[in-house]
Amino acid sequence: MKPHLILTSTVLIALIMVNFNSFFQEKMEYNKLTPEEENVILHKGTEAPFMGEYTDNNAQGYYVCKQCDTPLYRSNDKFESHCGWPSFDDEIDGAVTRKTDADGRRTEIICTNCGGHLGHVFEGENYTDKNIRHCVNSISLKFIPKPDEDTTGRAIFASGCFWGTEYYMQKADGVISTTVGYIGGHVENPTYKQVCSDTTGHAEAVEVIFDPKVISYEEITKLFFETHDPTQVDGQGPDIGSQYRSEIFYLNENQRNTGEKLKGILVEKGLKVATKITQATEFYPAEEYHQDYYQHKGSLPYCHRYIKRF
């Protein structure tokens, strides 16, 4: 059982965000800004309306802080307000901090991680059902487009705590992005607390988007088998429970066949492989503070390690 599971989700988020901020302030070198970017991000200026790069951008993806690359907004939360600046009715959990302006008239929004100025937030305008508008300077943002599904591959694996699984997947050449989340259960949109109760049927898992011209699904699956103990049933190292099980969630028959082949090779080598191979159901991304956990923490996984098996 993870020692942090006894904490409430609110306390856990607070503690992790404090640790994230401390780590980035001490370790991270921020991106170099142009004089125009400094005027807005550092000196709280405002770019001219209807002139920003992302005012009319409707592409799918997400928006990160121009200064520190921290994810701030998803494209699905962007809407057209005709105000002259990009507008969002929601932010990524914990990514944006609100501060009252010195004159007390408006509420400023800044990047929680680096303190860079983003714009202002307004409520009660009835633009969307959420009734909130983050009015953000384009110059404070950088847009990361969603990978083209026609030229990328997708894979989903569960092998214990998803922090450790993601750590090793991120290190592989050809991996474009990773997302930790939950899959294989019977509850819609489960929370971390629900999954940790071991009552929803979900596994902690990682969705991997990769470039098949650089790395194949078979190579990624080999990495999956080589970075955890596939013989342990309903657990991984000290983490015990079905949510920590070893499982391949295949998206097509080729992936299923690849998983079965590699599992068979390990069985022939004498391993009692407990890994399940299951058709993928809906994958639910985990809360934002779980994403890229070891990148932010700057340490190594406690229950995963690499062992060559093929």
* Active site residue ranges: 135, 161
187-197 residues labelled b (16+ CB within 10 A) or e (exposed): eeebebebbbe
Helix (H) or strand (E) holding 10: helix 9-27
Q: Contact 171/268 with Cβ under 8 angstroms?
A: no
CA–CA dist 148, 61 (Å, integer): 10
CA–CA dist 160, 212 (Å, integer): 25
Other Cβ atoms less than 10 A from the Cβ of 48: the count is 9
CA–CA dist 100, 120 (Å, integer): 9
CA–CA dist 135, 87 (Å, integer): 5
CA 59 to chain centre: 19
> For residue 3, what are the CA distances in angstroms to 63, 83, 181, 196, 240?
33, 47, 20, 12, 12
Residue where the block lists tokens 């819609």: 188
CA–CA dist 71, 93 (Å, integer): 10
In terms of residues, how long is the chain?
Answer: 310
